[in-house]
Structure 1
Amino acid sequence: MGSSSAGFVAVLTAAAVATVGFLGFRASATVPADLAKPLGGESAAATSKAPRDGEHPKALPVASGLGERVVYSVDDDRVWLVAQGDKVTRTFKVTPSTVDPLPGTYTVTSRSNTATGSDGTLIEHVVRFTSVDGVAIGFSAAVDGSTPTPDPTVQTGGIRESRADGDAMWQFATIGHTVVVIR
């Protein structure tokens, strides 16, 4: 292939990438409001905080869904991995991102074994379940084990776990798995 042919292919490729990017932006900017909501719309948990057991703060909150699921409390910065029969197999604290998902029911839409977080940190076991204003929201663990408080001036969607908790989440929350977000 001659150099002019290679240049022509490069120009076509760049034009195609730009067009796909533009169309993707336009599509996300014109999503009807009812399609941008969590599955099932707003739940009762969206309007009030799910009741808690005052004597057992780590106990699974009532009104946090049914069946096998991940429950994430944005107010308590806590996650519960719940097996069938509402049996909690693990609960742990997390470091929230600067962008919170709305309360509601979601499904795991994508996973990545390793990636670079929006804060530039190398992360592993990324489990994504929604996005808010173009910011992907999901659970992950920093490879270096850190869970720093995110910079409030930067929009991030990574909910950070310890590496051990990230391993447990990775094993538990596969594609299509339910994630319930509560207050």
Structure 2
Amino acid sequence: MAVLTAAALGVVGFLGYQAAATAPDHPTLARPGSHFSQSKEKGKDKAGSKQKSTALPAGSGTGERVVYALHDKRVWLVGADGKATRTFEVGPSPASPDPGTYAVTSRNKGGIGSDGVQVEHVVVFHTEGGVVFGFSAAVDGSMPDPNARKRTGAVRESRADGAAMWEFAQVSTKVVVIA
């Protein structure tokens, strides 16, 4: 009986460790109003699992900007000093903008997204071929279906990250999209 109890505690401890490492409030992600101070470097963690880097990518521009890395599905909010103040994962839609430098063209406090979901904090930065590309947060917390047939350009964030983007990205703020 003691062996089973010890094994069960070990499993619960391991699952708790995994949950803490992937939780939205993990200390590697800055909170609103704080400075981005820690990052995971590419490599392996203590448990030996592969990690994505949260360090600001080289060659992502200069000055104040939003950096969107398509491959990493990650966004950085970068201040005028060139330092990331916040980074977070995003959920892209089936369509992606080409890598390049854009600017925020419009903002909308809320509405219905191109995928039919109620969204808030919409920050649009590019339109191409009838597809509008922008950052938004679904009110219900859902992410877009990357395999959907309809080509939409929504880049979904959590509601907290959407609020931070809304405060940061004003009309004409630079948006750098990298592969």
TM over 0.5: yes
- The percentage of aligned residue pairs carrying the same residue is 56
In the alignment, does 2:83 pair up with 1:59?
no
- The answer to whether the Cα contact below 8 Å between 1:99 and 1:132 also exists between their aligned partners in 2 is no
Residue 93 of structure 2: which of 84, 93, 97 is its match? Answer: 97
The corresponding residue for 2:151 is 155
Number of aligned residues:
131
Q: Aligned pair in 2 of structure 1 residues 59, 175: CA closer, same or farther (>3 Å)?
A: same
Which stretches of structure 1, 4 residues or more, deviate above 2 A after TM superposition? 53-56, 148-152
The corresponding residue for 1:120 is 116
- 1:79-138 C-alpha deviation (Å, 9 max, x unpaired): 000002211110000000111001110000001000101111000000000012111000
Q: Which amino acid aligns with 2:168?
A: F
Cα RMSD, aligned residues only: 1.3
Q: Where is the helix percentage greater, Structure 1 or Structure 2?
A: 1
Q: Is there any run of 5+ residues in structure 1 with no aligned partner, and where?
A: 1-52
State the shift of 1:150 in Å.
3.8
Q: Which amino acid aligns with 1:96?
A: P
Instruction: Give me the TM-score of the superposition, normalised by structure 2.
Output: 0.70
Q: Secondary structure at the match of 2:81?
A: helix
Q: Is there any run of 5+ residues in structure 2 with no aligned partner, and where?
A: 1-40, 44-51
State the shift of 1:74 in Å.
0.7
**Aligned mates of 2:111, 2:119 — CA distance in 1:** 5
Counterparts of residues 37-56 of structure 1 (less than 5 Å): 54=42
The corresponding residue for 1:179 is 175
State the shift of 1:178 in Å.
0.3
Greater Rg over alpha carbons, structure: 1
